[in-house]
Chains A and B, each alone.
Chain A
Amino acid sequence: MWLIRSAICALYPGAPGVPGVAELDLDDFLARYRREAPTLMWLGLVLGAVAFTLSPVLTIGWPLPSFWLPRSALDQHASRAAGHRWYLLRQLVMIVKMSGGLCWGQHPRVRAIHGVAPYSADPGTWRAE
């Protein structure tokens, strides 16, 4: 879980006036994701996080896991990993990016900044009879 969190935070670090995903209930989101998502989907996210963590040597030439990179190098890695020439790496990072985007983009603070209406809470209901 920690590895996934680290990868998602690197991809959505925030910007002036815009919160990064680390400030937006990410832990709750990931706990829910793990509980609700199919196993294969969760496994994809784990693999994506592992690929992101181990690939700085491929993207910026640093033989370190991404969580040990200084901020500027991590940023460069996040950018290059998302657009890497190796399709498999790109796709794995895409899973992390999509999952992080779901958390970041549905948060009311981020939506307000971007002029998008907030979402109501998920009902989580269905017709039982």
Chain B
Amino acid sequence: MTHLAYREAPLELDADFVVVGSGAGGATAAVILARAGRSVVLVEAGAWRDPADYPESSYGAMRDLLDDWGATITRGRALWPIVQARTMGGTTVINSAICVRTPGDIFEQWTREHGLEDLSTSVWQHQDRLERELAVEEVPPDSRGRSNLLAAAGDAHAGYDGHVMLRYVRGCAGSGQCLQGCKRLRKQSTNLNYVPELIERGQTVLSSAPVDRVILEGRRAVGVRGRFSHPTSRRRGGTFTVRARRAVIVAASATHTPAILLRSGLKSPALGRFFRAHPGTGIFGCYDEPVDMNQGTTQGWASTKFRTEPGLKLETLAIPFELVASRLSGGGSELMQRLGEYRHIAMWVHACRAESTGTVQSGLFGKPVVHYSLDRADMERFRLGMHLVGRWHFAAGAKAIIPGIHGMPYKLGPDQVDQLLEAPLDPRAYIAILSHLFGGCVMGKDPARSVCDSSGRVHEVEGLMVADASAIPTNLGVNPQHTIMALAGLYAERAANAG
């Protein structure tokens, strides 16, 4: 079989399994099924772009790699963007490939609060396999760049117990282009390994093929239906129908998976609920010497010391130069003057382990609509994250920090860092994003409070599974890709061996 891209003519296929989505969850599930000898059709909404096709600019990445140009925003007190990809390989193409094992306390929480069996041993076994297959390694010393080296030095002074990141990257070249796709073929996004393996194993891969709905016959899912969408003009092409003899596995992301199931007519009371995220934002530190934060790996240093209390992860993050322009406050000559400092600033961020939950609905034209706001406790946690990042910069020798909080001074000096503890609790004062998403189709024992079980099988319908972040019933406090991939692998393994 083969890869089938955009086409005008209708298409009908069948296989043992159809997998919707080619990101961390979908590609992993599909390859495990194929290795077990099952026939698979993988269906991806975005186009298949190889590293030579990746644009380098942020504009090009928004156009070619991001879902809806990155314009999906939360509806709530603040309008925060939700960053997801729409391309073969999903968000693994545009993230920093950070690999963190699922913490043990998460499994205990899943058992205690959601009645799930203990998945720890199985998940960690899959994570062992993933780490071997995807060449997980520390960022090499030569690729760390000055921002990450400063972060390490600051960490040593501040006592944050940080570490060099482990990532799914084979010999990082330090090109600082993780967020626009790695053109050097170092980052092990799934479009470079698992998806090609599917083709080598004789399976079928559809690209530019957004799924509209799951086909239900009675209480059984028997396939999916959609219509091809042209990679550049978005012109609608031919319809496609893929029938699944054994199961439909939806792994289209924490926003798209619930939206697809809602459009398909599922009625579970938990569907689209319990959406969670790690909202995050950053602070620029201003240094005497040039930092050139876009030289070296995009993200190379992290601290998980505050993961449990107060619930924060701290990381370095180099954002592309052209996005710095809109991230710095002000406009006109004032902004131009501020941008003159670019070479001397470094951005470090926090990801907040927020407990607030939101909802996902299917909106007009099939786009997911996310309602999400942080409650006061989360905003206090979020604000503490700002203070920790500010202190981190000063411990690294920053002369000033740029917090980017509306209503606060543009810059704060070392003796003013505690002002961040009094920063506004209004989320509208911050420029933040949601990058780690969870829930919407959460797993659990109780069908009234969950959509699927601990094997990803949807309670309400036979032959339908969920295998992505939407199944994760809690936040994690760490980057989720490793957990998503391991869970998807486990679900697929169980599905392949069932009946």
Nearest CB of chain B from residue A88's CB, rounded to whole Å: 9
Once A15-B340, A114-B321 are accepted as A-B contacts, the answer to whether A122 and B333 lie under 8 Å apart by CB is no
**Would B335 and A78 count as touching, CB distance under 8 A?**
yes
- A interface footprint on B296-336 (CB within 8 Å = 1, 0 otherwise): 00000000000000000000000011111110011111111
Alpha-carbon separation in the docked complex, A18 to B231 (Å):
36
Mark interface residues in B54-68 (1 if CB within 8 Å of A CB, else 0).
111111101110001
Min CB–CB distance A24 → chain B (angstroms): 11
A-chain residues with CB within 8 Å of residue B326 when the two chains form the complex? 94, 97-98, 100-101
User: Are A38 and B336 also in contact (CB < 8 A) when A90-B406, A129-B3 are?
Assistant: no
Alpha-carbon separation in the docked complex, A13 to B6 (Å)? 42
Within 8 A of A (CB), among B32-73: 47-50, 52-60, 62-64, 68-69, 71
Chain A contacts of B50 at CB under 8 A? 127
Name which residue of chain B comes closest to A114, CB basis. B342
Partner of B231, one of A75, A100, A115, A126: A126
Q: How far is the CA of A74 from the CA of B292 in the complex (A)?
A: 32
Query: Are the CB atoms of B336 and A15 closer together than 8 Å?
Result: yes
Cα A119 to Cα B331 with chains together (Å): 25
When each residue 428-451 of chain B gets 1 if its CB lies under 8 Å from chain A and 0 otherwise, what string results? 100100000000000000000000
Residue of A with least CB distance to B410: A83
**A36, A77, A78: residue with the most chain B Cβ atoms closer than 10 Å:** A36
- Tell whether B203 is near chain A: CB-to-CB under 8 Å: no
Could you tell me the distance in whole angstroms from the C-beta of A120 to the nearest C-beta in chain B? 6
The answer to whether A105 and B324 touch across the interface, beta carbons within 8 angstroms, is yes
Chain B stretch 177-213: residues in CB contact (< 8 A) with chain A = 207-208
A101 near B322 (CB under 8 angstroms)? yes
- Say what secondary structure dominates the interface of chain A: helix
Q: A83-B406, A105-B325 are in contact. Are A36 and B334 (CB under 8 A)?
A: no
Interface size on B, residues (CB 8 A): 57
Determine if B5 and A129 form an interchain contact, defined as CB atoms under 8 angstroms apart. yes
Residues in A with CB closer than 8 Å to B52 are 123, 125
Given contacts A98-B326, A127-B3, contact A105 B331 (CB under 8 A): no
**A97-B325 contact in complex given A38-B69, A115-B343, C-beta closer than 8 Å:** yes
Q: How far is the CB of A16 from chain B (nearest CB, A)?
A: 9
Tell me whether A106 and B336 are in contact (CB under 8 A).
no
User: How distant is the Cα of A15 from the Cα of B333 in the complex, in angstroms?
Assistant: 7
**Which residues of A are found within 8 Å of B340, using beta-carbon distances?**
15, 18
B119 interface residue (CB < 8 Å to A): no
Q: A105-B320, A106-B322, A127-B49 are in contact. Are A75 and B57 (CB under 8 A)?
A: no
| Contact of A36 with B232 in the complex, beta carbons under 8 Å | yes
Contact for A105 among B55, B321, B428, CB less than 8 A: B321
A82 and B330 within 8 A (CB): yes
B84 within 8 A of A: no
Pick from A82, A100, A116: contact of B329, CB under 8 Å: A82
Structural contact, A105 and B329, CB atoms closer than 8 A: no
Bound state CA distance, A120 and B54, in angstroms?
10
Query: Could you tell me which residues of chain B, from 66 to 114, have a CB within 8 Å of some CB in chain A?
Result: 68-69, 71, 78-79, 88
Contact between B332 and A126, CB atoms less than 8 A apart: no
Q: Are A12 and B56 in contact (CB under 8 A)?
A: no
Give the number of residues in A that approach B within 8 Å (Cβ atoms): 53
A32 to chain B, nearest CB (A): 9
Closest-CB distance, A62 to chain B (whole angstroms): 15
User: Chain A nearest CB: distance from B250 CB in Å?
Assistant: 24
Is A124 among interface residues, defined by CB-CB distance under 8 A? yes
Known: A115-B343, A122-B56, A127-B49. A41 touches B69 (CB 8 A): yes
B contact residues around A126 at 8 Å (CB): 5, 47-49, 53, 64, 207-208, 231
Is the CB of A102 closer than 8 A to any CB of chain B?
yes
The one of B60, B294, B323, B342 that contacts A122, using a Cβ cutoff of 8 Å: B60
Any A CB within 8 A of the CB of B125: no
Residue A93 contacts which of B231, B331, B337 (CB distance < 8 angstroms)? B331
Asked if A15 contacts B337 (CB within 8 A), the reply is yes
**Complex contact A127–B58 (CB within 8 A):** no
B335 partner, pick from A11, A102, A123, beta carbons under 8 A: A11
Please encode chain B, from 329 to 371, with 1 for each CB lying within 8 Å of some chain A CB and 0 for all others. 1111111110110110000000000000000000000000000
B294 in contact with A124 (CB, 8 Å): no
Contact B56 A119 (CB under 8 A): yes
Do residues B406 and A12 form an inter-chain contact, with CB atoms below 8 A?
A: no
A15-B337, A41-B69 given; A102·B331 CB < 8 A: no
Assembly CA distance A38 to B70 (angstroms): 11
Contacts A104-B325, A105-B322 known; list 16 others, CB within 8 Å: A15-B337, A38-B234, A76-B332, A79-B335, A81-B331, A87-B428, A105-B320, A105-B323, A106-B322, A122-B57, A122-B60, A125-B49, A126-B5, A127-B88, A128-B5, A129-B3
20 contacts between A and B (CB under 8 A): A10-B332, A15-B337, A38-B68, A75-B333, A79-B331, A82-B335, A97-B326, A101-B322, A102-B57, A102-B62, A102-B322, A105-B321, A111-B321, A115-B292, A119-B55, A119-B56, A122-B64, A126-B47, A127-B88, A128-B6
Residues of B at under 8 Å CB distance from A?
2-3, 5-6, 47-50, 52-60, 62-64, 68-69, 71, 78-79, 88, 207-208, 231-232, 234, 290, 292, 294, 320-326, 329-337, 339-340, 342-343, 406, 428, 431
Which are the 6 A-B pairs with shortest beta-carbon distances?
A: A105-B322, A101-B325, A78-B332, A78-B331, A82-B331, A15-B336
